[in-house]
Amino acid sequence: MAALTDQVVVVTGASSGIGKAIALSLAAQGVTLCLVARNLEALETVAEIARATASQVLLYQIDLTVDEDIQQLKTRLEQDLGAVDLLIHSAGVITLGQMKTASLEDFDWQYRVNVRAPYALTQALLPMLTVRQGQIAFINSTAGLNARGGVGQYAATKHALKAIADSLREEVNADGVRVLSIYPGRTASPMQAAIVETEGKTYHPERLLQPEDVANAVLNALSLPRTAEVTDINIRPLRKA
């Protein structure tokens, strides 16, 4: 497996769930870890754990729906480190609702976070990633492959995210940049707990994928030798609903 030690890693949505698990798994590899989220207090909690193993941990409290914040992040990364090797897009939001009642405001919000933000951040950091022949990972969802009733807005954003990743891969592979999409099924996380509550069901996190399961799959893919590229990972809970 290829060593990730001392590489500069940017993880969005790093304050909880899959993003937190990925950040901590990468910290254990001795990377320079850049944690990105809106909740600074939650980021500090993750950073406290990560500092035990990471080469360096930096915190960036930004709102990915604000273009100025993304440009500020780019500038700060250039000033603080001057390079980026790995970009992990894990920030995401979801609202449920059928088309006849779902609000367009909710649709716009999901689009801003799930589609436009990763597109804009990738665009901003791509020059640094290209110089380092880096890697980009998009944490998608099973909804990005198959839509079902009640999640049409969310599924549409995740289908769009798949298109962005697939198109980007074709554009940057020649430059030595690898692009990975991960499609997890239901994963034990604060987001999933909120979804289950909205559905009026009982939350059983032990029956779901664990964030660490997804993190392990991502880490293995990112650590492969440069003769290979994993393009897509579909991962499901063993116990199906």
Active site residues: 154
CB 163 within 8 A of CB 156: no
Distances (CA, A) of 49 to 16, 43, 69, 188: 13, 10, 26, 20
> Which amino acid does the sequence have at 3?
A
Residue 181: its H or E element: strand 178-184
Instruction: Read off the amino acid at residue 123.
Output: Q
Report the C-alpha gap between 104 and 21 in whole angstroms: 32
The residues near 41 (Cβ < 8 Å, ≥ 6 apart) are: none
CA distance linking residue 91 with residue 89, whole number of Å:
6
Cβ neighbours, 10 Å, residue 61 = 17
Beta-sheet pairing, 135-139 with 32-37? unpaired
